[in-house]
Amino acid sequence: MTTTTTGSFSVVGIGPGDPELITRKAERLIGAASVVAFHAGVRKESHARRIAAELIPADAIEEELRYPVTTGTTDHPGGYVGALAAFYDECEARLAVHLDAGRDVVLLAEGDPLFYGSSMYLVDRFRDRFPVEVVPGIPAFAAATATIPAPLVRQTDVLTVLPGTLPEPELARRLADTDGAIIMKLGRTFPAVRSALAAAGRLEGALYVERASQPEERWLPVADVDADSVPYFSLIVVPGDTARPASPERMRGSAVWSQTAGSEPENVRFGTKPQPAELLVVGLGPGPDGWLTPEASAALAEVEHVVGYAPYVNRVPQRPGLQRHASGNTVEVDRARFALDLALRGERVAVVSGGDAGVFGMAAAVFEATADPAHPEHATVPVRVLPGVSAVQAVAARAGAPIGADFAVVSLSDRLKPWPVVERRLRAIAEADLVLGVYNPASRSRRDQVVEMQKILLEHRSPDTVVVVGRDVGRAEESLTVTTLGALDTDGIDMKCLLLVGASSTRVEPNGIVWTPRWVD
What's the pLDDT score for residue 271? 54
pLDDT category, 320, cuts 50, 70, 90? confident
Q: Hey, do 9-137 and 279-389 end up sharing a CATH topology, with the first three levels equal? A: yes
Class of the CATH-defined domain 142-243: alpha beta
What's the pLDDT score for residue 269? 46
CB-based contacts of 294, cutoff 8 Å, min separation 6: none
Report which secondary-structure segment, H or E, holds 325. Answer: strand 323-327
Rounded Cα distance, 113 and 456, in Å? 58
5-21 b/e (C-beta count within 10 Å ≥ 16 → b): ebbbbbbbbbbbbbeeb
User: Which residue, among 299, 322, 287, has the nearest Cα to 177 in the 3D structure?
Assistant: 322
Residue 484: burial class (beta carbons within 10 Å; 0-12, 13-18, 19+) = middle
Residue 183: burial class (beta carbons within 10 Å; 0-12, 13-18, 19+) = buried
C-alpha 243: how far from chain center: 19
CB-based contacts of 259, cutoff 8 Å, min separation 6: 156, 157, 158, 179
Q: Which CATH architecture has domain 9-137?
A: 3-Layer(aba) Sandwich (3.40)
Report, as an integer, the average pLDDT of 291-298: 96
CA 85, 86, 88, 89 dihedral sign is positive
196-233 pLDDT, tens digit each: 999 888 999 999 999 999 999 999 999 999 998 898 88
User: Which residue, among 409, 399, 401, has the nearest Cα to 480 in the 3D structure?
Assistant: 399
Report, as an integer, the average pLDDT of 288-294: 92
What's the pLDDT score for residue 284? 96
pLDDT category, 502, cuts 50, 70, 90? very high
CA angle 42, 72, 11 (to 5 degrees): 55
* Predicted confidence (pLDDT) at residue 245 exceeds the cutoff of 70: no
* Predicted confidence (pLDDT) at residue 64 exceeds the cutoff of 70: yes
Rounded Cα distance, 363 and 365, in Å? 5
pLDDT category, 244, cuts 50, 70, 90? low
The domain 279-389 is classified under which CATH number: 3.30.230.70, 3.40.1010.10, 3.40.50.720, 3.30.70.2860?
3.40.1010.10
For 199: left if phi > 0, alpha if psi spans -120 to 50, otherwise beta; the answer is alpha
70-110 pLDDT, tens digit each: 666 777 787 888 888 999 999 999 999 999 999 999 999 99
Report which secondary-structure segment, H or E, holds 432. Answer: helix 419-432
At position 237, the amino acid (one-letter code) is: V
User: Residue 278 gets which letter from DSSP?
Assistant: P
Average per-residue pLDDT for the chain? 90
* Predicted confidence (pLDDT) at residue 368 exceeds the cutoff of 60: yes
Assign a CATH topology to domain 392-515.
Answer: 3.30.950
Asked whether 336 and 366 are in contact (CB, 8 A), the reply is yes
* Predicted confidence (pLDDT) at residue 270 exceeds the cutoff of 70: no
Annotated domain spans of the chain = 9-137, 142-243, 279-389, 392-515
